[in-house]
Amino acid sequence: MPLVTLKEVLQPALAQGYAVAGMVTLGWEDMRAFVAAAEAENSPLILQAGPSCREHTPLPILGKMFRHLAENASVPIVAHLDHGYTFEDCQKALDAGFTSLMFDGSRKPLTQNIEETARVAELAHAAGISCEGEIGFVGYDGGETSNGTDPKEAAKFALRSNVDAMAISVGNVHLQQRQSGGLDEQRIAEIDAATNVPLVIHGGSGVPADQRRKLVKTTSICKFNIGTELRQAFGTALRQAVNCDPNRFDRIQILKETHDPTVAAARMVLRTMKG
């Protein structure tokens, strides 16, 4: 089926109490496995191209890859730019056929973040696609420290930026290799009470599966970005495929062996989105 927008998958999720996985892709092998998993679970899926993916593969190529997968899939697929840091990043993704733009102004002062995000939202909506923004900085495991989302600032951001989804910082951290003690549910409740926009959790790999299930049923969180736990599954399978026979050199033969384990890991993620 054709690519769909972020709004088209998140609004039903918000209304019906489930979430949609934003799966962070790095290449053809993992994005293909993610779509296979989504079809097996009969779940919509957001394929995400983040900065490291875009550094490796140009946006126009990624757009064609996402579109090809969507057109041959039995479930709705979103082509999502993850962490676009400039208006130009977002324009390039739009030109490449993406159906959702995430502008990340979370390191900037509130007023500047609102103004720049609103400009991207206007760009997206004029083209008939969606925009995600971020208020409160989500840090990195072993790197930059998070700056938690202030509920009052979140209310201003949601109202003035005109985004279709809002990423928040509530104890989540990018690149966590193990599930942590969980998110700040009190802060989530305060943000939820102050806004009416679908909420997004970046760094979802660090959120315990049971808490994911709970939050999708009880809050406006309806998108979890999942990258690290899927990369771990892919990397483990790849390492095993390489190490099992040191004389093998055909990359296609080796990469084929990553497919089933990555599909299995992605299916487990998708089940946590159903609440």
How confident is the model at residue 208, as a pLDDT? 85
Active site residues: 82
Q: How confident is the model at residue 179 (pLDDT cuts 50, 70, 90)?
A: low
Kindly report, residue by residue over 104-128, the tens digit of the pLDDT. 999 999 999 999 999 999 999 999 9
Q: Measured between alpha carbons, how far is 136 from 254 in angstroms, rounded to an integer?
A: 41
Q: How confident is the model at residue 176 (pLDDT cuts 50, 70, 90)?
A: low
The H or E element containing residue 134 is strand 130-135
Instruction: Tell me if residue 182 falls in helix, strand or coil.
Output: coil
**Average pLDDT estimate for 149-164:** 95
How confident is the model at residue 178, as a pLDDT? 65
How confident is the model at residue 181, as a pLDDT? 64
Kindly report, residue by residue over 16-45, the tens digit of the pLDDT. 999 999 999 999 999 999 999 999 999 999
155: how many CB neighbours lie within 10 A of its CB? 18
Q: How confident is the model at residue 183 (pLDDT cuts 50, 70, 90)?
A: confident
Q: Measured between alpha carbons, how far is 229 from 132 in angstroms, rounded to an integer?
A: 23
Q: How much of the chain exceeds pLDDT 70, in percent?
A: 93
State the distance between the two ends of the chain, measured CA to CA, in whole angstroms. Answer: 25
Could you tell me if 258 and 236 are in contact, meaning their C-beta atoms sit under 8 angstroms apart? Answer: no
Kindly report, residue by residue over 242-270, the tens digit of the pLDDT. 998 888 889 999 999 999 999 999 999 99
* pTM for the whole structure: 0.94
**Average pLDDT estimate for 211-217:** 91
Secondary structure (DSSP) of 54-70: HHHS-HHHHHHHHHHHH
Domain boundaries, the chain: 6-272
Contacts of 62 (CB under 8 A, 6+ apart): 25, 49, 53, 54, 79, 96
Domain 6-272 has CATH 3.40.50.720: no
How confident is the model at residue 33, as a pLDDT? 98
Contacts of 60 (CB under 8 A, 6+ apart): 95, 96
Could you tell me if 46 and 21 are in contact, meaning their C-beta atoms sit under 8 angstroms apart? Answer: yes
Q: How confident is the model at residue 203 (pLDDT cuts 50, 70, 90)?
A: confident
User: Is the pLDDT confidence value at 164 over 60?
Assistant: yes
| Token couple for 167 | 């990423």
How confident is the model at residue 204, as a pLDDT? 78
